[in-house]
Amino acid sequence: MRRTGASVGMLYLPAPDDETVDPPAAAAPSHEQAGGLPGGAPAASGAATLPAPRPAHDRVLRLTVLGGVSREFAVPWYRVAPDDPVPLADAVAQRRLVWVGGQEEMARRYPRPGLILPYRFALAATPVSDPETDWGGLVLLWPGDHPPRLTTAQRDGIAAGCARLAGVCRRAAGNGRPLRPGPQPRLVRPHRRTPGPIEATAAVEFIERLPGGSVALDLNGVITYATEEAAGLLGAEVEDLLGTLPWEALSWMDDPAVEDRYRAAAISRQTTSLTAIRPPGVRLCFELHPGPTGISVRITPAPAEDAAVPSGDPEHSAHSPLPSRATALYQLMHLAATLTEAAGVQDVVDQAADQLVPALGAQALALLTAEENRLRVIAYRGAPYRADVRDESAPLTSGIPAAKVLLTGTPLFFTTRAELALAHPRAAVLKGQGEAWAYLPLIASGRPVGSLVLTYDRSRPFHPGERAILTALAGLTAQALDRARLYDSKQELAHRLQAGLLPHSLPRVPGLEIAARYLPAGRGVGIGGDFYDVIRLTGTTTAATIGDVQGHNVEAAALMGQVRTAVHASAGAPPGEVLARTNRLLTDLDPGLFTSCLYAHIDLAHHRALLATAGHPPPLVRHPDGRTEPLDLPPGLLLGIDPAARYAAGGLTLPPGTLLALYTDGLVEQRGLGLDEATADLAEQLSRGEAGDLDALADALVGHARAAAPRHDDMALLLIRVTGSPERPGGEPGRPV
C-alpha cells in the first residue's frame, strides 16, 4: 500500500481458481511477495490473480490479497467467473485496462456492482500478465472525488505494478511452488510507525481535550477506542463498547441507515455524516472520517431541528449474534442481483452455493430437489456434505429433515447436534461436522421446489430475526431456481427447433471444401433467425446462401425456415431472380419482420461465381496468395419490404485456393466499433488464419469473435474453398476462365 503514493488505498488481488471448492494447502502471496501495491498509482483498492493450468480469462478468479477494506465488504467478490458482468472479468478476458470513472458510469456499464455498492468511487481493473502467461487480474479503487480519468503517470504506475506482480507469479511457478488462493483472502495493512509510551499518552490526552466524543473503528467497523465523553453521549460504558460493532452494542443503532453511512465512508473514502436518535429522544450527530486503517467518528449533540434517521428496533438485543438488518439487506440485495442474471439451473446452483456459505458464516451448504418423488442433491459447498446424501435416493415420505421441509414448506432449525439427533435419528451426521443445522424449504409460486440445508460449526440459537433472513434468502434462491428450470426447458425446445430448421449436414461437393458454424445468442430463448444452406445443383454448379431474419424468437425462427425453403426452391435461377422470388413470397406473407440474405451461384466448370445481396454484409474473399478483402456487390433492399424490388448480381473468378467467407452480422458486431472496422478485423483474422484445415479456421474465427466482446446476437459462418475443377459428365475436365 505504501508504494502506491496514495493517502487512502485499498488493494484487491483476486486469484483464479478453476475448482468449485477452495484448493488445498496452496499459499496466498505474502505482502512482501506481492510487492505491496503497484508503484506510482494512487489507488484505494486492488486485486490480483495467480497461476493455474488454463489461461486466466478461461477460469474462475478468487480474491487472494485484500488491503484497505474488510473481508465483509469483499464477500460478494470472493469469486469472479469469466462471464460475470463485472469490470475484472472484462479486463482479464479482453486483456486491457477497464476504467470506471464514477458511480453513474458504474451503474450504467455494470448494474450489478452498481446496485450492490451504490457509493461514490472510481475503479480500474486490469489483467496481470506477461507475454507468455495470463496470471490473473488487479482491481484498484479510488476515493469518490477522484477525477473522471486516469493520468498518464497513474496508468504507467499500474502497468509497472502489474509487471512486478506477474514477475512474482512467474518466479514462484518456476520454482515449482505456484501461488494459489487460500480459503480466505490475505489482508494487507499499511505500515505505520508505532508511537512510544509518552507520545501515545500525549495523543490520548489531545483527543480527550477535543470537544465532543471520539470513537475509532477498524476496517471491520469494530470499536477500538472511545473517549469517556463519547461513551456518555452514547449512553454506555467504555468497557462495553470496546471490541464490538456499534449496531450490536447499541440496539438503537441497529438501523440500515447507520450501517449504510458506514459503508459509504469506507468505500468512497469521503467524510459522511448522519443523525441518529438515542432513546428517549436524544439526537446525536455522527461525522465519519475514513482512512486506510479504519474510520474516526466524531459525536456531538445535534440541534433539535436536524432531521433524524429512524431508530432501530428497541427490542433488538444488544448482544444478539444475528446479522444486523443492514447486513441482511446487503446480502439479500447482492444475491437478488446475481440470481436475476443467472440463466439456467446450473447458474443458479453455482451462484447460490458460492455466495451463501461465506455470507452466512456457514460451515457447509447443500441444495436438494425432488425428482420422481425422490431427493437429489444438486450442489454442496464447504465441508464435505454427507447428511441426507446417503438418503438422496430415499422417497420423499422417508421423514428425513430435507424431505420433511420440502413436503411441508416449513423450515426446521436445530441449535445443537443433540437436538437434531433426538428429532431425526436417521439424519446422518459425521463426527466433527455440524453443530447447528437449518433446513429451509425452497418455495416458488406457493409450492416447494427443493430444500436448502445449512450447517454451522458451533451451536447457534437461530433468533427470529436470523430465521427470517435465512428464509428470505432461501425464497430468492427458490424463485431463481424455478425460473431457471423454465429457462432450461425453453432452451431445450429452442435447440430442437433450431436443429430441425438448419441443415443437418452439408453436401459433399467435388472441387469444394465447406465448413459451417452456428451459435445462438448468449441470452434469451436461444433461438434466432440466422440461417445458411449449401445446395448442389449439377455436377459442376452449387448454390450457397446465408441470411438473418430480424428478431430472436420462435417467430423469427419460423420465418427463417420459410425463407430457406423459398431460396432452396428457386436455387439454380440467376442470383438476382432467386432473391426477387423470395422477396415476393415474404411480402405476400407480410410477417412484419425483415430479412437480409446473400445468395451465391458457384460454377466450378468456369471457375466463376455470381452473387447477389439483399441488405446482407458483403462476403470476404481470401485469394490464393492470402490477401483478403470484402467483395463489392451491388446493394439490394432487405427482403419483405417492396415486392417490386430488383436485385443485381456481381461476379468474381475462383482460381483454386480461393476462399469465400459468408457470415451474419452477429459475427462482427462489437459495441463501440463501427461495422467497417469490425469487418476489417474479421478479414485480418481470416487472412492470418491457417487455411489448411477449414474446420479449425472456422473454430478460430468464431472463437475470436466470442473473445472480442460479449455477443447478444446469433452468429452464422459459412466457409467455402475452391480446391479444383470437378470432372464434367463424361469425364472432360472443366476449363478455367
d(CA 726, CA 724): 7
pLDDT higher than 70, residue 318: no
Per domain, the residue ranges of the chain are 2-188, 208-320, 343-493, 502-722
pLDDT, tens only, 34-76: 444 444 444 444 444 443 444 545 578 888 888 888 877 878 8
Residue written as grid cell 469444394: 512
CATH class given for the domain over 208-320 = alpha beta
Q: What percent of the chain has pLDDT over 70?
A: 77
**Mean pLDDT, all residues of the chain:** 78
Give me the CATH topology for the region 343-493: Beta-Lactamase (3.30.450)
Centre a 10 Å sphere on the Cβ of residue 149 and count the other Cβ atoms it contains: 10
Mean pLDDT computed over 184-196: 78
- Name the CATH code of domain 502-722 (choices 3.30.2320.20, 3.10.20.90, 3.60.40.10, 3.40.430.10): 3.60.40.10
Question: What architecture (CATH level 2) is domain 2-188?
Answer: 2-Layer Sandwich (3.30)
pLDDT higher than 60, residue 79: yes
pLDDT higher than 70, residue 735: no
Which is higher by pLDDT, 440 or 135? Answer: 440
pLDDT, tens only, 90-110: 998 888 999 998 877 886 678
The whole-number pLDDT of residue 184 equals 81
The whole-number pLDDT of residue 266 equals 87
The whole-number pLDDT of residue 497 equals 64
User: What three-state secondary structure class fits 644?
Assistant: coil
The pLDDT-based confidence of 394 (bands split at 50, 70, 90) is low
Cell numbers for 722, please give them: 475452391
The whole-number pLDDT of residue 390 equals 43
pLDDT, tens only, 520-566: 765 444 566 788 999 999 989 999 999 998 776 667 777 787 888 89
Distance of CA 557 to the CA centre of its chain: 29
pLDDT higher than 60, residue 116: yes
pLDDT higher than 90, residue 298: yes
The whole-number pLDDT of residue 77 equals 80
Which is higher by pLDDT, 510 or 350? Answer: 510
What are the φ/ψ torsions at residue 545 (nearest 5 degrees)? Answer: -140, 150
Mean pLDDT computed over 184-197: 79
Cis peptide preceding 280, ω within 30 of 0: yes
pLDDT, tens only, 200-218: 889 888 988 888 999 999 8
d(CA 277, CA 516): 69
The whole-number pLDDT of residue 620 equals 96
pLDDT higher than 90, residue 631: yes
Q: What percent of the chain has pLDDT over 90?
A: 27
In one-letter notation, the amino acid at residue 649 is: A
The whole-number pLDDT of residue 177 equals 85
d(CA 88, CA 80): 8
Mean pLDDT computed over 603-621: 95
Angle between helix axes 554-570 and 464-501 (nearest 10 degrees) is: 10
CB of 306 within 8 A of CB of 275?
yes
Return all residues near 127 (Cβ < 8 A) that are at least 6 apart: 56, 57, 91, 92, 95, 96, 134, 135, 136, 137, 138, 162
d(CA 433, CA 345): 28
Centre a 10 Å sphere on the Cβ of residue 616 and count the other Cβ atoms it contains: 26
pLDDT higher than 80, residue 509: yes
- Total-model pTM: 0.51
The pLDDT-based confidence of 356 (bands split at 50, 70, 90) is confident
Widest distance between CA atoms in the chain = 110
- Choose the most confident range, by mean pLDDT, from 193-197, 220-224, 724-728: 220-224
**How far is the CA of 530 from the CAs of 521, 552, 556, 585, in angstroms?**
10, 9, 9, 18
The whole-number pLDDT of residue 731 equals 36
Distance of CA 468 to the CA centre of its chain: 28
Mean pLDDT computed over 425-434: 61
The whole-number pLDDT of residue 71 equals 78
The whole-number pLDDT of residue 726 equals 64
- Choose the most confident range, by mean pLDDT, from 59-73, 399-413, 428-442: 399-413
The whole-number pLDDT of residue 8 equals 35
* Ordered strands of the 659-663 beta sheet: 512-519, 715-722, 659-663, 620-622, 628-630
Do 2-188 and 343-493 show the same overall fold? Answer: yes
pLDDT, tens only, 234-244: 999 999 999 99
pLDDT, tens only, 658-708: 999 999 988 887 766 778 888 898 999 999 887 778 999 999 999 888 877
The whole-number pLDDT of residue 699 equals 92
Sign, CA torsion 336/338/342/347: negative
- Going by the DSSP 8-state scheme, the letter that residue 383 receives in this structure is S
